[in-house]
Copies of this chain bind each other. A is one copy, B any other.
Amino acid sequence: MSLDAIFNPRSIAVVGATDSPVAAPGAPAVSFNAHTQIFLYTLIDWGYPGRVYPVNTKGDEVRGLKVYRSLRDIPGPVDYVICIIPADATPGLVQDCVAKGVKGLHLYTAGFAETGLADKSALQADLVRVARSGGVRMIGPNCMGIYQPKMGMTYGPNFPRESGNVAFISQSGSYTLLLVRAAAARGVRFSKVVSYGNASDLDEIELLDYLADDPETEIIGAYLEGAKDGPGLVRVLTKAASRKPTIIIKRGSTEAGKRGASTHTGALAGDDSVWDSMLKQAGAIRVEDFEEMADLMTTFAFFPVPRGHRAVLFGVGGGAGVRASDECEAGGLILPPIPEEMRAELARTLTTAGTMLRNPVDPGHYARDWTDMMHRLDRWEDADMLLWQIAPDIEALQSDVILQYINEMRRHTLQTFSSLKKPKAVVVHAVESDIGLKALIDTRRMCAESKVAFYPSIYRAARAICRYMDYCKQRGRKAPVR
């Protein structure tokens, strides 16, 4: 069976939906039911095009929808079920799903094989057996399920509603939340994201195979904790990577990490170097963690392929410039020194005394028009890309009012910057302060809107750009994936 039925359900039932808040002794009062908001409200709010059915043994109403006491009571067909009831009630539900002809069952419910307990693992195996024999595919248990904006399906109410060309799959639901948010904040948009938890039925092999063929997906990312079927994984990774950039996070390398991974989804972490060579052989790009994956997705989406590794970095100087130079080189970029004559030329377009014009180029703080300087740098033959560094924490005047003023300046500068010919990106010098972090948020939003690549640190920019260049060189790719 193709997974199409799961990704395009005509109706969805949310079993366990209720508006009763979950109370806990000693904690502040809650006025909402988090799981119902996450799995039911989102379908309504995002305009899921099919029928939505809340199910709960207590009946009643949720968000104006009649609550059915059982899946079997629902009058029409149900293609997809989201399960948020406790583990001990799931055997009955799986039988109901079979009886109802459900195509896909997403078990958010935890308390199965991941506990490491024999009886819980047996319970999971039972569910799989019954579901499979009845033609029901299972996602999970112990996972967040599907985010697919085109269909109005999400478990992240604040994920982007707009669709894109990037897919991401992960055993860990947390990692999907981390990655989607990190990449989305920078303008990356998604086709399909799947958190598949314990992978009792649907697993990474089937999902990668599907995404390799999926016409809506042009970039694939995956967070892997382990694999039950090594050769099968190599086969689908090779297929996926031969068609689309395929980026992999594989963690769990330290002893403590391995223990964490095994508690988490019951997967075997395996030897790190084996994973390393397996991924290389398959043609996948292995990244350190979700931050680097978001960096690469941003680069693939917004950064034209530069001719070489020579960058001009401008925006701030001083000690920050020294650090920025180090970070550029650590990531693999070169900052060629700007020749004497050109420095003199640049100096004429600027007005401050305390400027450093060798590269990094510091045009000076506050209220300057950098248009001429940027155009001159854009024409420089010996640079392959332009990096504009903002450094809110080295501005002496720092307040919400000043931030607004500086944001206005940045918007002005970004307009010119985004019109330049060379590949270009905005990078943030390390910020730690409240206002600095707010400035990062604001600038990032501006860049996402202008479709300019944004990186939260210069090292991360340099590392991602260099890995992207390596990949493009190997594959003969000339343009970003838009």
Residues of A bordering B, CB below 8 Å: 21-28, 30, 34, 37-38, 86-87, 109-111, 114-115, 142, 144, 155-158, 170-175, 177-178, 181-182, 184-185, 223, 225, 251-257, 259-261, 263-264, 289-291, 294, 316-326, 328-330, 334-335, 337, 351-354, 356, 358, 360, 365-369, 371, 391, 393-399, 405, 408-409, 412, 430, 432-437, 440-441, 445, 456
Q: Is the CB of B367 within 8 A of A23?
A: yes
- Min Cβ gap A415→B in Å is 11
- CA A317 – CA B261 in complex, angstroms? 10
Interface centre among A27, A174, A430 (most CB of B within 10 A): A174
Chain B hits for A155, CB < 8 A: 396
Q: Is the CB of B144 within 8 A of A396?
A: yes
Chain B hits for A259, CB < 8 A: 325, 337, 358
Q: Is the CB of A178 within 8 A of B358?
A: no
- CA A415 – CA B157 in complex, angstroms? 30
Q: Is the CB of B441 within 8 A of A437?
A: yes
Residue of B nearest to A395 (CB): B177
Chain B hits for A255, CB < 8 A: 329
Chain B hits for A317, CB < 8 A: 174, 260, 263-264
Q: Is the CB of A397 within 8 A of B38?
A: yes
Residue of B nearest to A408 (CB): B28
The contact of A177 among B177, B328, B396, by CB within 8 Å, is B396
Q: Is the CB of B27 within 8 A of A368?
A: yes
- CA A214 – CA B379 in complex, angstroms? 53
Chain B hits for A115, CB < 8 A: 353
The contact of A321 among B260, B290, B335, B445, by CB within 8 Å, is B260
The contact of A254 among B330, B412, B437, by CB within 8 Å, is B330
Q: Is the CB of B397 within 8 A of A329?
A: no
Q: Is the CB of B398 within 8 A of A87?
A: no
- CA A238 – CA B337 in complex, angstroms? 37
Chain B hits for A430, CB < 8 A: 178, 289-291
- Min Cβ gap A42→B in Å is 10
- CA A388 – CA B399 in complex, angstroms? 31
Q: Is the CB of A412 within 8 A of B28?
A: yes
In the A-B complex, the 5 residue pairs with the smallest Cβ-Cβ separation, listed nearest first, are A172-B319, A110-B354, A111-B353, A26-B369, A256-B325
Q: Is the CB of A437 within 8 A of B437?
A: yes
The contact of A27 among B256, B257, B260, B367, by CB within 8 Å, is B367
- CA A184 – CA B398 in complex, angstroms? 14
Q: Is the CB of A24 within 8 A of B181?
A: no
Given the known A-B contacts A353-B87, A398-B156, A441-B434, are A30 and B405 also in contact in the complex, defined by CB atoms under 8 Å? yes
Chain B hits for A290, CB < 8 A: 430
Interface centre among A178, A253, A409 (most CB of B within 10 A): A178
Q: Is the CB of B28 within 8 A of A405?
A: yes
Given the known A-B contacts A289-B323, A326-B257, A369-B24, are A114 and B354 also in contact in the complex, defined by CB atoms under 8 Å? yes
The contact of A109 among B158, B353, B434, by CB within 8 Å, is B353
Q: Is the CB of A110 within 8 A of B396?
A: no
Given the known A-B contacts A27-B412, A114-B354, are A225 and B369 also in contact in the complex, defined by CB atoms under 8 Å? no
- CA A326 – CA B289 in complex, angstroms? 11
Chain B hits for A30, CB < 8 A: 366-367, 405
Chain B hits for A393, CB < 8 A: 177-178, 181-182
- Min Cβ gap A32→B in Å is 8
The contact of A322 among B23, B225, B405, B441, by CB within 8 Å, is B225
Given the known A-B contacts A24-B369, A142-B354, A259-B337, are A397 and B323 also in contact in the complex, defined by CB atoms under 8 Å? no
